[in-house]
A and B are shown apart, each in its own frame.
Chain A
């Protein structure tokens, strides 16, 4: 008991010191970056971070915002909702005026819960779940939604003349499930028949049972609402089984290139994206150049672009508001109408962006290949 209290006091003291250290008053505008920066989905957060950091650097070179330099403080959530809340509570005591994040939908909802309590501006560059912004006037995003891209995929398939389609999805993740529901509704409306809808559980690594059922249903294409790591496994197993059709995915599948050994399967993938490095607008071309100069690689994960855009929207709103008052910034974000890297951005009643969508595929070498841009 004695030892217990001494120990806990030590811990408390240590925590206080660690929290107090960075709070040295400086004349800067602080924004917070919160999201998954490590683990299975870490690359999405890191892509966001690169985009955001790039814009912060650029704007600081031009004199900053409201005449002050901008400082961005990053916190890793490991994709965990309670960590997202911890990260917010930590940053909120450090004069942070606005937040970019979170990256995944679940952690973004948790973050939205606490930013909404304080009414501080939050822009997620990548949370595609509908509910994130619902009833929270302070929460925005610079990516389009799952239903939006699922509908776009269904329309794209219909335009390609596809009549019979199968779906393989993960019924334990918001992302996969949400895409599937919206895709189902839109395909029925367009007269595209779903001949097989197979669910796998979160964390599965063997999809052969589901793929065999799909193969027996003889679809012309497969809708695969998965992230890249899982999709790579699925495509390799589909090839083994001889299931030779196109696989249509949404934004999450874009990083599949990092997970496949046999790059030839990639030519079978068609997916929707928030951005294409082959986009033709001047701001997009400049962004790709600057990104390559800064990091020595192309912004292949589109969340670098939406992250960059989130920083553009947030900092432009602070400038427009003329102060760091939360309410003023939120109002300014709501009134946003600017041309960003991933297209022109305005916000609808639900704080979702009205913007362009890009269809892409890969060549046999694993390079992204731009197919088509669909504007709102």
Chain B
């Protein structure tokens, strides 16, 4: 705590000191107009790069049209201050807000269709979007067409008649906005919403299966980034006094992207540092005239050669601690009560005794005439462990995908706790009570084990993105609640010690356990395990059998598991369904299955059945 307090004070002091230092230097004339202008450019660049980092770094989607949002913000905000007869000190902040909101609106409009795509396709769409914005601006009359908007009030002169005072106010204004935006990106990034966004980057399919509405979160990230870019655009317009569509072309987007990549994708502080360096560098090299661009390029290439993952990679200096520190101070001053810890995550111990928790009625799906599964009738009673076996390609994983909404059934029904769920989105079904693991492990590899579990609590948390940004009591109490619950879950699986280890660095067996643990965190009534013992040695398998039994008793879930390890299946399943060619060919107790002729021919084979039988 002592060390932490020390570092917190340092953070707080550093920000204030930086502000005071620059202000004093401006006031004393040591920082002249030229340098003050460059510092403002740096701030604007920081807003652009850190907001772009929300999409490219946190969400993990390559966006090539970020300057397009900046353009929208710049034009809207410039037109606003030009047409509204208000005091500049009032009209400028208003215009930035309006510019940001319009940019956010465009972000949302472009995001709705575009974000259903991924990777290269999304990159191309955003690239096209940026160019479309530019072309529209060139061809509109209100934007001044190709000649741009000129005579926009310059903020470094407009705040006051006294030049020095106006310059200081302009700097304070821009610095404050930049600091607030960075803080908000940090607080948002460390909240349930930020975890949701990062989990999409790590593994979109697992995120959806863990209960994250992925499309909505992509849209949120995209909209937030566009909003901040719009604000940066507004500041830029009121810094240069003239804006032309060409200023916001593809090259500009790439320039910002280069800064993000250099700073490290996903590291906001990296973006900040690279913005400072890459804006200052060309200015420092100004004396070298035309060679400066060559030197600049060479330095960029060297950077990429020696630090390919950027200055900071995905690491981060802590700003959030600063924020929390401020809150502690606030509370001390006003003697407010500690926000209560909200624990809304009691497992569902509701009794569902003799009725099935999950049943399917002649469930089936065909892909373009090819039937992958048909007439599947499965039923799971409360607290039951049921096996789903069959040869490779029999349709076992297809059944899981049907149950979890990855595939929409073309026929039949899925009834969960008495309600039909077929046709719902995966994340909704997860929230309704079905959780799963994957045949090939899909963890959020760069997130810690603890955060992997926290992502799964998402669907049962309520606080809004705004709460997340200001870190209000609701946000804090919920976060504290899930922290306790997540650690409890880890304790059940004897993984408390690994809470802060990145999931990707855990040993194989623990990754399997963590995935089950994450599935349980969404508080399911039904748990689907897809080959949980795959790749495990006999002693690990034995441990797993024990774990599965523990889960059933502790968490009161029905478990449906796909497994090829007959020892495990026969050892713990109360009932078994056998699948072949997309149909249930047999179902019954392990004993019945072992002696079923059809099953023996199709799957078990004579010898194995015999061995198993003689062992029993």
Contacts and interface: CB of A to CB of B under 8 A. Distances in A.
A85 B241 contact: yes
Interface stretch (A74-82, A275-283, A327-335): A74-82
B269 A1 contact: yes
Given A38-B290, A74-B289, A171-B138, 19 more contacts: A1-B318, A2-B11, A5-B17, A8-B18, A9-B21, A12-B22, A12-B31, A15-B35, A76-B290, A82-B240, A85-B240, A106-B244, A109-B242, A110-B240, A131-B150, A171-B146, A173-B146, A174-B146, A174-B148
Contacts of A3: 273, 317
10 contacts: A2-B317, A5-B14, A5-B17, A5-B18, A15-B280, A37-B289, A81-B244, A86-B34, A93-B34, A173-B146
Interface string A4-21: 110111011011101100
Given A93-B33, A117-B154, A173-B146, A12 B244 contact: no
A202 interface: yes
B272 interface: yes
A210 interface: no
Interface of B is mostly: helix
A185 interface: no
Contacts of B481: none
Interface in B268-303: 269, 272-273, 276-277, 280, 283-284, 286-287, 289-290, 293
Contact of B145 (A4, A38, A113, A177): A177
Nearest to B33: A89
Nearest to A82: B240
A90 interface: yes
Contact of B37 (A16, A80, A89, A109): A89
Shortest Cβ-Cβ A-B pairs, 5 listed: A89-B34, A5-B14, A90-B34, A113-B241, A93-B32
A320 interface: no
Nearest to A170: B146
B33 A171 contact: no
Nearest to B138: A172
A4 B284 contact: no
Contact of A37 (B15, B33, B290, B322): B290
Given A2-B10, A172-B246, A113 B239 contact: no
Nearest to A129: B147
B246 A202 contact: yes
B242 A86 contact: no
Interface in A169-203: 171-174, 177-178, 201-202
Chain B CB within 10 A, most for which of A9, A82, A173: A82
Interface in B323-337: none
B284 A14 contact: yes
A113 B78 CA distance: 15
A131 B539 CA distance: 83
Given A1-B15, A11-B276, A86-B283, A113 B154 contact: yes
Given A174-B147, A177-B146, A4 B239 contact: no
Nearest to A178: B147
Given A110-B241, A117-B154, A92 B33 contact: yes
Select the residue from A7, A8, A18 with max chain B CB neighbours within 10 A.
Answer: A8
Contacts of B293: 38, 78
Contact of B35 (A12, A110, A173, A174): A12
B289 A76 contact: yes
Given A85-B241, A114-B241, A1 B22 contact: no
Nearest to B151: A113
Contacts of A117: 154, 157
Contacts of A80: 247
Contacts of B145: 177
B34 A106 contact: no
B135 interface: yes
Size bracket, chain A contacts: 35 or more
B38 interface: yes
B277 A81 contact: no
B293 to A, nearest CB: 7
A8 B317 CA distance: 15
Nearest to A17: B284
| Residue among A12, A38, A89 with most chain B CB within 10 A | A12
Contacts of B236: 82
A1 B32 contact: no
B244 A4 contact: no
B32 A75 contact: no
Interface in A84-138: 85-86, 89-90, 92-93, 106, 109-110, 113-114, 117, 129, 131
B484 interface: no
Instruction: Give the one of A9, A109, A172 with max B CB within 10 A.
Output: A172
B458 to A, nearest CB: 29
Contacts of A14: 280, 284
Given A16-B31, A38-B290, A129-B147, A81 B37 contact: no
A82 B157 CA distance: 16
B273 A4 contact: yes
A106 B242 contact: yes
B245 interface: yes
B41 interface: yes
A18 B38 contact: no
B139 interface: yes
Nearest to A80: B247
B30 A16 contact: yes
A131 B244 CA distance: 14
A148 to B, nearest CB: 17
A25 B157 CA distance: 28
A133 to B, nearest CB: 12
Interface string A317-354: 00000000000000000000000000000000000000
